[in-house]
Amino acid sequence: MFPTPIEKRTRGWQIGYQAMLPVVLIAWLLPLLAVMLFSIKPEADFVSGNYWSLPSNLDGFNNYYKVFFESDMPKYMWNSIRITVPTVIGCMILSSMTGFALGVYRFRANLWIFFMFVAGNFVPFQILMIPVRDLTLDIGLYNTVQGLVLFHIAFQTGFCTLFMRNFIRALPFELIEAARVEGIAEWRIFWYVVLPLMKPALAAMAVLIFTFIWNDYFWAVVLTQGSEAQPVTAGITSFNAQFRAAYHLMSAGSIVAALPPVAMFFLMQKHFIAGLTLGAVK
Amino acid sequence: MTNTASEFDAPKRGWYKRNEIAVTPFLFLLPGVFFFAVYVIYPVFQSFNISLYKWDGLGEADFIGLKNYQKLFEDRAFETSLWNNLKWLVLYLLAIPVGLFISLFLNQKVVGIRLYKSLFFFPFVISQIVVGLVFSWFYDPTFGIFTKLIGLVGLEIKGGVLGNPTAVTYGIIAAGLWPQTAYCMILYLTGLNSVDPEQVEAARLDGAKGWKMLWYVIIPQLKPATFIAFVVTVVGALRSFDLISIMTRGGPFGQSRVLSYYMFEKALSEYGFRMGYGAAIAVVLFLIMLVFIAYFLWSMYQEEKGAH
């Protein structure tokens, strides 16, 4: 193991290390801690220029009440859910199929199609912006949740295919051959043999896509406007305009907006990290 | 054979059954490839085409050939954006070594280390919009912690970090480095787990330790993690948009623009809808990215060849 395990060092080292951990962590999260503090401070503290003291009273929790009941925030959150969940499901369906096709079968175009997905996945968004916006306008889905969902599914299929294909490649191929010898139809092999084995990969991918899509801002601005269809990332900017320098409300709003992916991460940590490494680092 | 053929696929027997293994992959690929082609592949070519026109997005488009690209050369704002992109690319790569060091720092087995690792990773999970807001308060010239901290050593940045034309891009890059470093850290933490303990022990017996051990034994074994860290960091640097949009809107005086933001500004903002010009900017950005995409694919291809 590298670096040398701390338990093999002297007592002094060990205590030093244990003491350093929280200090470094606090320094690392300092900007975030500041926002957490802001979010529970009453407005009066900001008016009196009292930025960094502890909250002078407990009125600060009203900030969260206001965010939930006196702003468009719940609407934006709901839109985010309506965008994120179908996208995740759509990606899982499409990429388990493409991943299966590219991971199991050998044919001439295989690697080319795979590389097309990989390359497309890395393209800068701006090169897609104008045509995708026009297309969405043409099919009447501009400023709708569906318009965003369709694009997200299509684009994320690139990443998901990369992910699923690599995972399927690592499965024992004998399983599939054994099934073929039994004379089982190919689609049944997909459904009954490969799909059950893909579950952990699908879970990892789902958590990751959830976070990506929840945090998307660019496409939300390009394909939607107003609280009808905009997700929370775009919503928070109009929130910014609505509350101007109301730091207490802005910070409470930001925390609420950031919460779902954070919760997802802490609940599904193992899957999340497996997903981030693209399955390449084990 | 007969017992597997249900009524459902009975009519398809014959040709399909005989060619099943050849046909199935294409059937499975069809929906995914269709979506991807419509929304990703074809639009890339469309953008190339649009960049040859003068077009406001609504009326008639005038074919003007390469004029948009000619204009780019004289455009000071484009030049600034291009330079800033370069700064992003170079400085963003710092996320890789810093992430490596944090992961080395955290690669211990003490009580609660799992929680520490998760909390260090935290910045990556929050959206860049929130990161941007958090950092604009962090840098705020009147109350920001950063301003106070540099004030302690007698420094002052005129107009605050985000109001200062020279400091602004570095300030935003620092904000972006925060989640990006967390990402690289987690890649390395996973990579360190799979470092071969026997090799480490053998190197130790040979007297290798500290930096030498890190450089000659550990880093070579972390190569897959480094590759992914490099890929995601380059892509992240060239995709930078959210932070700029939320923190400065390209200001002050357009000094924090990058190509991705400038393109958006030209094509879709109150400054008017100059689609052709915007597309030309996007094409330049795409060509820069293409260099990296080619490298990524080439690396993957080498690996694929090795695998068979």
Token match 């939320």: residue?
Answer: B246
Q: What is the pLDDT of residues A183-196, one digit of tens each?
A: 888 899 999 999 99
- Give how far Cα B246 sits from Cα of A214, B135, B136, B240, B251, Å: 17, 10, 9, 11, 11
Residues of chain B with pLDDT under 50: 1-7
Q: Is pLDDT of A226 > 90?
A: no
Percentage of chain A modeled with pLDDT above 70: 95
B65 φψ region: left (φ > 0), alpha (ψ -120 to 50), beta (else) = left
Q: Is pLDDT of A151 > 60?
A: yes
* Alpha carbon of B239: minimum distance to chain A alpha carbons (Å): 6
Q: What is the pLDDT of residue A279?
A: 52
**Three-state secondary structure call for residue A48:** coil
Query: Which of B114, B133, B239 has the most A C-beta neighbours within 10 Å, making it the best mutation to test the interface with A?
Result: B133
Q: What is the pLDDT of residue B31?
A: 94
DSSP line for B162-205: GG-TTTHHHHHHHHHHHHHHHHHHHHHHHHHHTS-HHHHHHHHH
What are the structural domain ranges in chain B? 20-50, 70-307
Q: What is the pLDDT of residue A282?
A: 41
Q: What is the pLDDT of residue B69?
A: 92
Chain A partners within 8 Å of B178 (Cβ) = 31
Cβ B289 vs Cβ A122: under 8 Å: yes
Q: What is the pLDDT of residue A281?
A: 45
In single-letter form, the type of residue at position B259 comes to L
Q: Is pLDDT of A265 > 80?
A: yes
| φ, ψ (nearest 5 deg) of residue B11 | -65, -25
- Are the beta carbons of A129 and B224 separated by less than 8 Å? no
CATH number of B70-307: 1.10.3720.10
Complex ipTM: 0.89
Cis status, amide bond into A231, omega within 30 of 0: no
Query: Which of A29, A50, A122, A134 has the most B C-beta neighbours within 10 Å, making it the best mutation to test the interface with B?
Result: A122
User: Which of A1, A6, A71, A16 has the alpha carbon at shortest distance from A238?
Assistant: A71
Between these two residues, A170 and A219, which has the higher pLDDT value?
A219
* Alpha carbon of A218: minimum distance to chain B alpha carbons (Å): 7
Entry pTM: 0.89
Q: What is the pLDDT of residue A4?
A: 80
Q: What is the pLDDT of residue B16?
A: 79
Q: Is pLDDT of A77 > 80?
A: yes
Q: What is the pLDDT of residue A83?
A: 95
Q: What is the pLDDT of residue B233?
A: 94
- Are the beta carbons of A130 and B275 separated by less than 8 Å? yes
Helix, strand, coil tally for chain B in percent (to 5): 70, 0, 25
What are chain A's domains? 6-61 (no CATH), 73-276 (1.10.3720.10)
Q: What is the pLDDT of residue A173?
A: 87
Torsion over CA: A129, A131, A132, A136 (sign)? positive
- Give how far Cα B237 sits from Cα of A190, B177, B232, Å: 38, 9, 8
Q: What is the pLDDT of residue B7?
A: 47
- Are the beta carbons of B264 and A254 separated by less than 8 Å? no
Between these two residues, A68 and B95, which has the higher pLDDT value?
B95
